[in-house]
Amino acid sequence: MRLSILLSLFFYSFLAAQSPQVHSGAVKTATGYSYYVTNGEPVAISVKLDLELTNLKSSLRTDQIFVIPARVVNYKILDFTIVKKGRYAYQVTASYLWGDQRKQQHDELFNYHLPYAKNASWRVSQGYNGSSTHKNTYAVDFTMPIGTAVHASRSGMVIQVKENEAIGCNAPKCLERANFIRILHQDGTIAEYTHLKQHGSIVKKGDFVKQDDRIAYSGNTGWTTGPHLHFSVYQQSFGKKSKTLPVRFQIGADAFSSLLVEHHRYRKP
């Protein structure tokens, strides 16, 4: 009998992700093995397994996505049963993504609010596919002084908060020094609010925030040329790098835009 377990995480983003509190593995039984996942996160986690079975049969299809509820211990998803007498073995690579990714479908018609206070007005220093750090990226930089209130553009669950950094510089070496908040939306997409002030987060992981709730204060941490808020929405994929998405911003009562023009000021209605 040979047993081999390989575990990996596919939490791609544009800054280093904090490690999720998820682990999985098999437990020996009288007829083979049972496979369990423990999820310590405040949201459901999607799991995909890459399996190689020798003289073992799975109780379910192994190419499907398994969704593990939030904060559960030893949640069984599969049984591996010995087919016939003799040597048996398995190899498994487990990959995890935030939320329920079985029906991943970005809501392209959702109206995002500008990520700051009502009636505030801030200039876009770099927009979608910008000439500097936004090449081939759907992200927006809003120039604003350190300490400006940041508000949620869309409702969702806070899944990651980093606020301990104090350094910012105009060099790639500072990329991972940025403070940020990541919020999981109902459609499985994630919003990222970046370059926040040290200890400038108002929310914590596991908080549910409503659209327009104040969540943090802007800063100048990470790879930056000056104080600003970097905002993007991205979609996760198993085995692939996450991709940023163009979203619709509410600019006025009836006007919407999926591309905020650089060097223009935008007032939140």
Task: Report which of 127, 247, 231, 131 is spatially closest to residue 187, judged by C-alpha positions.
Answer: 247
Q: Which CATH number fits domain 111-267: 2.70.70.10, 3.30.1330.10, 1.10.340.30, 3.40.190.10?
A: 2.70.70.10
CA distance 76 to 159: 24
CA distance 222 to 170: 8
CATH number of 2-98: 2.60.40
Task: Report which of 149, 147, 143, 176 is spatially closest to residue 162, judged by C-alpha positions.
Answer: 176
The answer to whether the beta carbons of residues 128 and 138 sit under 8 Å apart is yes
| 212 has a pLDDT exceeding 50 | yes
The answer to whether the beta carbons of residues 198 and 165 sit under 8 Å apart is yes
Query: Whole-number mean pLDDT of the chain?
Result: 89
Q: Can you give the pTM of this predicted structure?
A: 0.89
CA distance 9 to 23: 10
The confidence score (pLDDT) of residue 18 equals 54
Q: How confident is the model at residue 254 (pLDDT cuts 50, 70, 90)?
A: low
- Tokens found for residue 91: 């190899």
Arithmetic mean of pLDDT, 28-49 = 96
Arithmetic mean of pLDDT, 110-118 = 96
Question: ∠ CA 187-216-151 to the nearest 5 degrees?
Answer: 55
Read off the pLDDT of residues 64-109 as tens digits, 9 standing for 90 and up.
999 999 999 999 999 999 999 999 999 999 999 999 998 778 888 8
| 56 has a pLDDT exceeding 60 | yes
Q: How many CB atoms lie within 10 A of CB 55?
A: 17
The confidence score (pLDDT) of residue 124 equals 94
- Tokens found for residue 158: 């806070």
Arithmetic mean of pLDDT, 247-268 = 85
b/e per residue, 218-249, with b = 16+ CB within 10 A? bbbbbbbeebbbbbbbbbbeeeeebebbebeb
List Cβ neighbours of 131 (8 Å cut-off, separation of 6 or more): none
| 19 has a pLDDT exceeding 70 | no
The confidence score (pLDDT) of residue 233 equals 97
The confidence score (pLDDT) of residue 149 equals 98
Read off the pLDDT of residues 136-189 as tens digits, 9 standing for 90 and up.
889 999 999 999 999 999 999 999 999 999 999 999 899 899 999 999 999 999
List Cβ neighbours of 10 (8 Å cut-off, separation of 6 or more): 95, 96, 97, 236, 238, 239
The confidence score (pLDDT) of residue 15 equals 42
% of the chain exceeding 90 in pLDDT = 77
b/e per residue, 170-191, with b = 16+ CB within 10 A? eeeebeebbbbbbbbbebbbbb
Domain-by-domain residue ranges, the chain? 2-98, 111-267
What are the Cα distances from residue 190, in Å, to 94, 204, 227, 242? Answer: 21, 16, 23, 10
Arithmetic mean of pLDDT, 214-234 = 96
